[in-house]
A and B are shown apart, each in its own frame.
Chain A
Amino acid sequence: MLELRLVQGSLLKKVLEAIKDLVNDANFDCSATGFSLQAMDSSHVALVALLLRSEGFEHYRCDRNLSMGMNLGNMAKMLKCAGNDDIITLKADDGSDTVTFMFESPTQDKISDFEMKLMDIDSEHLGIPEAEYHAIVRMPSSEFGRICKDLSSIGDTVVISVTKEGVKFSTRGDIGTANIVCRQNNTVDKPEEATIIEMTEPVSLTFALRYMNSFTKATPLSSIVTLSLSSDLPVVVEYKIAEMGYIRFYLAPKIEE
């Protein structure tokens, strides 16, 4: 028996909007720790890891570890039917091939049930090793989203270079080149507007903008994004989900031939 009640149902709506275009089908894993997902995109270039900790739910009942295969497009369709202020409850019985999403309006005057078919998904679970990153950039998520969008109108790839002075995003295409430098800036009034760079050594890596743009669909989940970079390692683009967990995107850097 599984029953998860999330008062801030909009979080789950935003999570699905963030990942549904990157991943088609995925297993949601439910355990005492929380509600989680790890999945690769169809070309196995990017990986998404989601964790919503059990403590973040108003009610969290998971009698035994359960893996539920879902089509994320279909799940997003169902969650779109929940209001932004609705409380969302996920329910599944042991051995059942369906999951039920219950939406309650804040005033309890409208209660909806949506039952969705589960699917069997053969998914590979990857071990993500702990890594010491050469550079960690923390910046406003809206700024990062804007940069990825702007650069993708000029080129297909972005070179992210971090030095003590700042982080540089560069691209080149048929019409020309673009460089955007964000300097370290931790003296702003609001912490969510700061750009903070922790660096042990300079790093410069090239990534496909198509994937970066897809990751920025998680922007509504957090005002801050963290980019963790190391030579020859996938970048980690992390959006923290307030008091609940995170959504992390991993993208393999392009390699010069």
Chain B
Amino acid sequence: GSKQPTITRFFSKV
């Protein structure tokens, strides 16, 4: 199976 990570895993809050 595959998992869908969120975009916040790659881009951090500013």
- Chain B hits for A157, CB < 8 A: 2
Tally of contact residues, B, Cβ under 8 A: 14
B3 to chain A, nearest CB (A): 5
- Please name the residue on chain B nearest to A251 by beta carbon: B7
Report the separation of the CA atoms of residues A228 and B10 in the bound assembly, to the nearest whole angstrom: 15
Please choose the segment from A20-28, A44-52, A162-170, A176-184 that sits at the chain B interface, where 4 or more of its residues have CB less than 8 A away. Answer: A44-52
- Please name the residue on chain B nearest to A206 by beta carbon: B2
| B12→A127 contact, CB < 8 A | yes
- Chain B hits for A234, CB < 8 A: 7, 10-11
Question: Interface digits, B1-14 against A, CB 8 Å rule (1 contact, 0 not)?
Answer: 11111111111111
- Chain B hits for A253, CB < 8 A: 5
Count the A-B residue pairs with Cβ separation under 8 angstroms: how many?
60
Report the separation of the CA atoms of residues A125 and B12 in the bound assembly, to the nearest whole angstrom: 8
Tally of contact residues, A, Cβ under 8 A: 25
Tell me whether A254 and B3 are in contact in the complex, defined as CB-CB below 8 angstroms, given that A125-B13, A125-B14, A127-B13 are known contacts: yes
Interface assignment of A243: CB less than 8 Å from any CB of chain B: no
Question: Interface digits, A235-257 against B, CB 8 Å rule (1 contact, 0 not)?
Answer: 00000000000000011111111
- Chain B hits for A40, CB < 8 A: 7-8
- Chain B hits for A254, CB < 8 A: 2-5
| B3→A255 contact, CB < 8 A | yes
Interface assignment of A95: CB less than 8 Å from any CB of chain B: no
- Chain B hits for A43, CB < 8 A: 6
- Chain A hits for B8, CB < 8 A: 40, 44, 124, 126
| A45→B4 contact, CB < 8 A | yes
- Chain B hits for A127, CB < 8 A: 11-14
A244 to chain B, nearest CB (A): 24
| B7→A45 contact, CB < 8 A | yes
- Which 8 residue pairs across A and B have the least CB separation, nearest first? A126-B11, A254-B2, A44-B6, A127-B14, A47-B7, A252-B5, A255-B3, A124-B13
Complex A-B: 10 CB contacts under 8 Å? A44-B7, A44-B8, A124-B13, A127-B11, A251-B7, A252-B4, A253-B5, A254-B2, A255-B2, A256-B1
